[in-house]
Amino acid sequence: MEESEFISILTDMLGFAPCNIVYYKHAFMHSSCAGSDLKAEYNNERLEFLGDSVLSTIVSEKLYKMYPDKQEGFLSMLRSKIVQRPTLNALAVKLELERLVIIKSDVVACHSNVYGNAFEALIGAIYLDKGFHACSSFMNDVVFAHYLNIEKLQELELNYKSRLLEWCQKFNLKLEFELVGEEMVNKNDHMFKYKVLVNDVTAGLGNGFSKKEAQQYASHEALNFVRRKPEVFCRKG
Amino acid sequence: MEESEFISILTDMLGFAPCNIVYYKHAFMHSSCAGSDLKAEYNNERLEFLGDSVLSTIVSEKLYKMYPDKQEGFLSMLRSKIVQRPTLNALAVKLELERLVIIKSDVVACHSNVYGNAFEALIGAIYLDKGFHACSSFMNDVVFAHYLNIEKLQELELNYKSRLLEWCQKFNLKLEFELVGEEMVNKNDHMFKYKVLVNDVTAGLGNGFSKKEAQQYASHEALNFVRRKPEVFCRKG
């Protein structure tokens, strides 16, 4: 692709003219095309590393301000839904990133996250080229405005309670939910607080306006915990 | 504590005068002191959610620029060492955050991450009060300049290979390391690429200038992977 065409597609996509094109070229260069050269600058993994955090910050701020009355459990679960690979892959397809990504054709099939990863690398490239606020504007004015509906994602049912149950069954662990708080937070709303116990160890807490919601948040926290520290819960196999 | 004293301590700590004090008050309010009120605004967990991502972005940029020749595996491992709870807890102690955190005294003992969490919430508060660049300046001019030595942390031996081995033994999984690439990247440096197989499934890849280094990065990636997706590797217990 001619450089002028690359810049033109990019400018249309981003809503601003990029300055330092090299960052974007790296962002769209998959490691399969770095030849046999393993040097850091020839693929997009470093930019993906950077973009991943920048993206998380912008999403976190967006959710923090969008849901002033929601607890951390809700925000954390919704952020997971936004930054998870299936969401980012779908977003990359909508943005038509495949027009820009350089990858060996036989690699695509076995690297299904190529485009989602390239999206993160693109955020990293914008960050280095134009700074944090340009990333934030791109995400808000382009991505959230046209391609990614947060409210729709919110409805997406990621059943953390089922996943936790499955995880515990796999490793023969006892799973219990315990209601540890319940009260009126205002005239109409009831707040429930649940504790999740895995093999009698507290693995997560969650607050919600229904028992189901509170258990979901508690399960989400517990899943993160048991995956990070399985040794706390598991007997030697 | 008098408000003037609170502001004075904070100003000394941050190197600038805070504007909207309410954010900082929330940042230092542990949930144990939100009384029986479970409403979102009365504890620091929402700010911690936000600060966690902001911190990760600042650390990622710092490492990206500090180590231009390092691969993603190295950057990712070093970032983990910086944002992990033991590091942040120790940092919070050096910053004397305990002078500002409001917590029930009987809670401290069983919530050992209180101060590390409060540090993240503080970053969230600075972000809302003064924006991204103020957070970045605080981290660079105060934290990295005086309290957190990245090069020393780099030497900290977090043995991911041992942890992975332990994890696999716990669940009776086969673990293999396979050398999949080896070449000269310049006149003096040899680059090794290792693949980690857990029960014959590829779980991680790592590049390094020694076999040991490459295996460490590959193990770090594999640990993240097996913890996120144990179902790929594990037989029903």
Q: What separation in angstroms does the CA of B224 have from each of A81, B73, B133, B213? A: 18, 12, 31, 17
In this predicted structure, what is the pLDDT of residue A25? Answer: 92
Q: How far is B106 from chain A (nearest CA, A)?
A: 18
B55 has pLDDT over 60: yes
Q: How far is A235 from chain B (nearest CA, A)?
A: 7
Window 137-166 of B: residues touching A by CB (8 A cutoff) are 166
Contact residues, chain B, for A69 at CB < 8 Å: 39-40
Report H helices in chain A: 3-14, 21-27, 45-66, 72-83, 85-94, 105-108, 114-130, 132-137, 150-155, 160-170, 211-228
- The answer, for B127 touching chain A at a CB cutoff of 8 Å, is yes
- The answer, for A127 touching chain B at a CB cutoff of 8 Å, is yes
Nearest CA in chain A to B37: A185
Contact residues, chain A, for B237 at CB < 8 Å: 169-172, 237
How large is the ipTM?
0.74
* Active-site residue, A52 included: yes
- The answer, for A187 touching chain B at a CB cutoff of 8 Å, is no
Contact residues, chain A, for B168 at CB < 8 Å: none
> What's the mean pLDDT when you consider all of chain B?
86
Of B127, B170, B237, the CB nearest to A231: B170
Contact residues, chain B, for A218 at CB < 8 Å: none
B160 has pLDDT over 50: yes
Residues of B marked active site are found at 52, 120
B14 has pLDDT over 70: yes
**CB–CB contact B40 A228 (8 Å):** no
Mutate which: B132, B205, B213, vs A, most A CBs within 10 A: B132
Name the DSSP class of B102: B
Residues paired with A57 in a beta bridge: none
A164 has pLDDT over 80: yes
Contact residues, chain B, for A172 at CB < 8 Å: 237
Residues 6+ apart with CB under 8 A from B176: B196, B197
Residue B16 burial by Cβ neighbours in a 10 Å radius (0-12, 13-18, 19+): middle
Weakest-pLDDT range from A143-147, B40-44, B136-140, B163-167: B40-44
Report chain B's terminal Cα–Cα distance, integer Å: 54
Contact residues, chain B, for A57 at CB < 8 Å: 53-54, 56-57, 132
A69 has pLDDT over 70: yes
- The answer, for B86 touching chain A at a CB cutoff of 8 Å, is no
Q: How far is B172 from chain A (nearest CA, A)?
A: 6
**CB–CB contact A53 B48 (8 Å):** no
Q: What separation in angstroms does the CA of A70 have from each of A75, B33, B125? A: 7, 19, 17
A138 has pLDDT over 60: yes
Q: Tokens standing for B69?
A: 């020749």
Angle at A157 between CA A156 and CA A162, to 5 degrees: 160
Higher pLDDT, B198 or B234: B198
**CB–CB contact B49 A72 (8 Å):** yes
Taking residues A131-143, report their average pLDDT: 97
A63/B143 Cα distance (integer angstroms): 27
Weakest-pLDDT range from A75-79, A134-138, B47-51: A75-79
In this predicted structure, what is the pLDDT of residue B190? Answer: 77
Report chain A's terminal Cα–Cα distance, integer Å: 54
* Active-site residue, A120 included: yes
Q: What percent of chain A has pLDDT over 70?
A: 86
The number of beta carbons lying within 10 Å of the beta carbon of residue B143 is 19
pLDDT tens by residue, B92-150? 999 999 889 887 766 654 456 888 999 999 999 999 999 999 999 999 999 999 999 99
Of B40, B172, B231, the CB nearest to A69: B40
- Which residue in the list A120, A129, A213, A221 is annotated as catalytic? A120
Q: What separation in angstroms does the CA of B230 have from each of B61, B160, B166, B202? A: 31, 17, 14, 13
B3 has pLDDT over 70: yes
Contact residues, chain A, for B82 at CB < 8 Å: none
Report which of A195, A30, A58 is spatially closest to residue A132, judged by C-alpha positions: A58
In this predicted structure, what is the pLDDT of residue B227? Answer: 77
Q: What percent of chain B has pLDDT over 70?
A: 86
Q: How far is B53 from chain A (nearest CA, A)?
A: 5
pLDDT band at A109, cuts 50/70/90?
Answer: very low
| Rounded (10°) CA dihedral A165, A170, A174, A176 | -10
B167 has pLDDT over 60: yes
**CB–CB contact B61 A127 (8 Å):** yes
- The answer, for A179 touching chain B at a CB cutoff of 8 Å, is no
